[in-house]
Amino acid sequence: MERIAFEERPDWRDDAERCGFAFHTMNGEPYWDESHAYQFSLAEIEERIEDPTQELLTLCYRAVDRILDDDALMERMAIPSAFHKAARDSWNRKDYDLYGRFDFAYDGQSPAKLLEFNADTPTSLFESSVFQWRWLEAMKEAGHLPEDADQFNSIHEKLVEALPFIAGPDKRMHFAAVLDSIEDRGTVEYLADCAVQAGVEVSLIDMADIGVDEEGWFTDTNDYRIETLFKLYPLEDMVREEFGEHLLYTPTRIIEPLWKLVLANKGLMPVLWEMFPGHPNLLPAYFEESPASASLGERYVRKPLLSREGANVAIIDPTMPGGRLEVEGTYGEEGFIRQQLHMLPKFGSDWTVIGSWIIAGRSAGIGIREDTTPVTRNTSRFLPHFIVD
Amino acid sequence: MKRSVAVSLVIMGAASLAACQEETVDSAVYYSVDECVSGKTYSPEKCETDYKAAEAMHEKVAPAYQTQADCEAEFGASQCAQATEQHASGGFPFLPLLAGYMIGKQMGAGNAAGVAAQPLYRQAGKNAFVNAGGHEVARSTGPVKLSSNSPAIRTPAATTRTMARGGFGSRSMSVSA
C-alpha cells in the first residue's frame, strides 16, 4: 500500500456532473480528491483485504445468531424490546440484505483491523462503484497508468446481479430516502439506476411520504402498494418513530431487513471480541459498563452504540492535548462501547481509512477516505485506488 | 480482474452513459392447466403451480368495477362476478372472469429476465389476452416472446387505500450529514 501523487484531470468536475455526482464538492470543500491515489498489489488486496472481509462477514453472521438468541444482550444494545421477535423472524425467514461496509485501519504492514461495520445505511457507494472506476479508465487512457492496471471494485456488477433477486418475482422496487439531502438522494438514485439496468421497475419516494394501508402494506403517494422498499434511513430510528410500529407486521419487504439492527450497532464489536478473542482482524472491545473495559487502560476509543459518520466518537488519550479528541454530535444516549485505540495510518499529513464493501454477502471492493484528523467523519475526502503489481 | 467489466448509468445524470438493456423473455399463455399440459412445453407441475399463482392473484389485482354493468360493458355479458375476497383496492368490487394465465419464468444464472405468472383477461370484441393493467400479452394461446421492458410482462402493483401517511423522518435528517 502506497500513496502516490497524481495530477488532477482538468475536466473531472464536468465529468462528475454529467454522471449525476452532485456532491463532489460539499460546503465549498473538496469531497472527491484525485490529487493522490493509493496503490496496492493484487496479492495484498486479495490476502489482506478481500479474504479478511469475507471471513469477518462469516463471524458477523455467527454473531447475529448469538445476539438474536439473547434478549438481554439485545436490550444492552438498545434494540427496543418490541422488535426483538420481529428481528429474529426476519433472520429466520432469511430476508435478503443488500449491502454493508467494513471500515478498516490498515497500514500495509499489520493485519487490517475492523473499526466498525456500517451494515445498514453505508454511503460513499457511488464514488466507490462508479467514479473511481471512471478515474482508473481515464488514467489508463491518458497513459498515466499501465493498460493492465486494475482496481478492487466489482460493486456495480454485483449490485446489478443482486437487485433482481431482491426485487422478487414482481421485479418492482421503491427507493426511499430523505430526498432533500443531495448525498442521500444521489445514493438511492444510483441504486435505482442499477435496478433499472437489471430489469426492475423503480420509483423514488421521500421517507416522509410513505403511507400504510389496511393490511399493513406500505404505500406510495399514488396509493400503490410498496412490495419491496429499499430505505436509506437508519433502522434504529425507524423502530423508534411512531410510524415504525407498522414494521412489526408489514408484508412489505424492507431492505435492509430488521435483522440488520444487530449488526448496525457498535455493540457488535464487543460481542465479536467475546466470541472470537484474539482474532487478527479484531480489536479488543467492551461495553462501557462492563468491568472488563478497564483492561483497555487510559487510552481507548469511546463510541456510541448508535451513531453515524463518526459523530460523538472520542479518542481518550492522556498524552494528547486536552486528553481527548471528540467529534461533535447528538448521539450517545443509548450507551457506549470502548475499543482499543488503534490509530489510523498516516500518509503525509492525512489519516486514512479503508471502506471494504460487501454486496449481497460478497466482498466487492474498496473506497478510501482521508481526513486531516484521526477520526473519519462526513467531511473526510474520498480518494481513488488502483492495483499494479 | 478485480473490477467491473463495464459501468453504465441509464437514468442518472444529464447524459446516460449507456443504453438500457432489453432482453427477450420466453413465456406462454394458456386457457387452462389442461391446455398447458397438452402443450408439452412445460411440466404438469409447472402448469399447475403457475395456474394457482395466477388464480390467487386474480381476486386481488383484476380490474375492479363498482357495478356488474360497468364490468360487463368492458368484458361482455356474463363475463363478470363479484369478488369473494377483499380486493387490493378495498371492498368487494365486480371483476372480469379469469380468462387464462401467463407462465412465469425463473431467473437464470447471469440472466436478469425472470417474470412471475400472472392472470389474464379478454375484453369484449377484442381478440387478445390482456393482463390486469390492460396491456396486451398475446393474441392466442401458446408460446409467446415478450420484451423485458414491456408493461405486459408484469402485473401492475396493486392500488390500495392508504390509511395513514405519517411516513418516517422525525428522528433523522439524513444518513450522511
The whole-number average pLDDT for the span A384-388 is 98
- In which band, very low, low, confident or very high, does the pLDDT at A10 lie, cut at 50, 70 and 90? very high
Residue of A nearest to B10 (CA): A193
Q: What is the DSSP string of chain B?
A: --B-S----SSSSSS-SSPPP--EEEEEEESSHHHHHHH-SS-HHHHHHHHHHHHHHHHHHS--BSSHHHHHHHH-TT-EEE-SS--TTSS--EEEPP-EEEPPBPPPTT----B--EEEEE-TT---EE-TTS-EEESSSEEEEEETT-GGGSPPPPB--EEE---S-SS-S-S--
Q: Are B12 and A199 an interchain contact pair (Cβ–Cβ within 8 Å)?
A: no
Any B CB within 8 A of A199 CB: yes
Instruction: Name every chain A residue with its beta carbon within 8 A of the beta carbon of B7.
Output: 129-130, 133-134, 156
Residue of higher predicted confidence among A320 and A4 = A4
> Is residue A110 less than 8 Å (CB to CB) from chain B?
no
Chain A residues touching residue B17 (CB < 8 angstroms): 19
Q: CB-CB: which of A213, A215, A241 is closest to B168?
A: A241
The pLDDT value given to residue B14: 52
Residue B148: pLDDT above 60?
Answer: yes
pLDDT score, position B90 = 77
Q: Is the pLDDT of residue B17 over 50?
A: no
Reduce the DSSP state of residue A102 to 3 states and report it: strand
Q: Which residue of A has its CA nearest to B88?
A: A225
Please give the share of chain B, as a percent, with pLDDT higher than 70.
89
Select from A219, A220, A231, A366 the residue whose CB has the most chain B CBs within 10 Å, as the one to mutate to test that interface: A219
Mean pLDDT of A118-140: 96
Please give the average per-residue pLDDT across B58-87, as a whole number: 92
Residue of B5, B11, B104 lying closest to A157 (CB–CB): B5
Task: For residue A348, give how far its alpha carbon lies from the nearest alpha carbon of chain B (Å).
Answer: 26
Which of A150, A165, A233 is the closest to B2 by Cβ?
A150
Q: How far is A170 from chain B (nearest CA, A)?
A: 6
What ipTM was estimated for this complex? 0.86
Least confident of A86-95, A155-164, A327-336, B25-34: A327-336
Q: Say how far apart CA A208 and CA A177 lie, in whole Å.
A: 9
Of the pLDDT bands very low, low, confident and very high (cuts 50, 70, 90), residue B20 is very low
Q: What is the pLDDT at residue B16?
A: 47
Chain B residue numbers touching A181 (CB-CB < 8 A): 173-177
| pLDDT at residue A49 in the model | 98
pLDDT of residue B19: 37
Nearest CB to A20; choose among B5, B13, B107 = B13
Question: Does the pLDDT of residue A115 top 50, yes or no?
Answer: yes
Number of A/B CB contacts below 8 angstroms equals 197
User: Mutate which of A27, A125, A225 to test chain B, going by most B C-beta atoms within 10 A?
Assistant: A225
Question: Rounded to an integer, what distance in angstroms lies between the CA atom of residue B162 and that of residue A205?
Answer: 15
pLDDT band at A256 (very low <50, low <70, confident <90, very high): very high
Residues of chain A contacting residue B49, judged by C-beta atoms under 8 Å apart:
none
Which residue in A has a C-alpha nearest to residue B111's C-alpha?
A161
pLDDT in tens, A261-314: 999 999 999 999 999 999 999 999 999 999 999 999 999 999 999 988 888 899
Report the gap between the CA of B143 and the closest CA in chain A (Å): 20
Q: Give chain A's mean pLDDT.
A: 95
Residue B21 has pLDDT above 60, yes or no: no
Tell me if B160 and A201 make a contact (CB, 8 A cut-off): no
Please tell me what DSSP assigns to residue A45.
I
pLDDT above 50 for B18: no
Neighbours of B128 (CB within 10 A): 14
Instruction: Say yes or no to pLDDT of B176 above 90.
Output: no
Q: Nearest chain A residue to B154 by CA: give it.
A: A170
Would you call A42 an interface residue with chain B, using a CB distance cutoff of 8 Å? yes
pLDDT (tens digit, 9 = 90+) per residue, B153-166?
Answer: 888 777 788 888 87
User: Is A41 an 8 Å CB contact of chain B?
Assistant: no
Least confident interval from A25-29, A137-141, B148-152: B148-152
The full set of domain ranges for chain B reads 24-153
Question: From the list B17, B159, B171, which residue is nearest A240 (CB)?
Answer: B171
Question: pLDDT value at position A222?
Answer: 86
User: Could you give the CA distance from residue A317 to residue B148 in angstroms, rounded to a whole number?
Assistant: 59
**pLDDT attached to residue A155:** 98
Q: Kindly report the average pLDDT of chain B as a whole number.
A: 85
Chain B CB contacts of A212 under 8 Å are: 162-165
Question: With an 8 Å Cβ cutoff, is A128 touching chain B?
Answer: no
| B88 → closest Cβ in A181, A192, A225 | A225
Dihedral angle, C-alpha A113, A116, A118, A120, nearest 10 °: 130
DSSP state at residue A47? I
- Tell me if A37 sits within 8 A of A387, measured CB to CB: no
> Residues 255-274, chain A: which have Cβ within 8 Å of B?
none
pLDDT at B15 over 70: no
Residue B107 pLDDT greater than 80, yes or no: no
Lookup result for grid cell 495484498: A44
A387 and B2 within 8 Å at the Cβ level: the answer is yes
The tens digit of pLDDT for each residue in A42-86 reads 999 999 999 999 999 999 999 999 999 999 999 999 999 999 999
Residue range B55-69, pLDDT digits in tens: 999 988 899 898 999
Least confident of A105-119, A235-249, A311-325, B6-20: B6-20
pLDDT tens digits, A196-252: 889 898 999 999 999 999 899 999 998 899 999 999 999 999 999 999 999 999 999
pLDDT for B155 equals: 83
| pLDDT surpassing 80 at residue B114 | no
Is a pLDDT exceeding 80 seen at residue A331?
yes
| A190 to chain B, closest Cα gap in Å | 7
* Long-range contact pairs involving A50-54 (C-beta distance under 8 Å, separation at least 24): A50/A152, A50/A356, A50/A363, A51/A363, A52/A104, A52/A111, A52/A112, A52/A281, A53/A102, A53/A356, A53/A358, A53/A363, A54/A362, A54/A363
Q: Please state the φ and ψ torsions of residue A238, each to the nearest 5 degrees.
A: -55, -45
Chain B contact for A43 (CB, 8 A cutoff): no
Contact between A303 and A337 under an 8 Å Cβ cutoff? The reply is yes
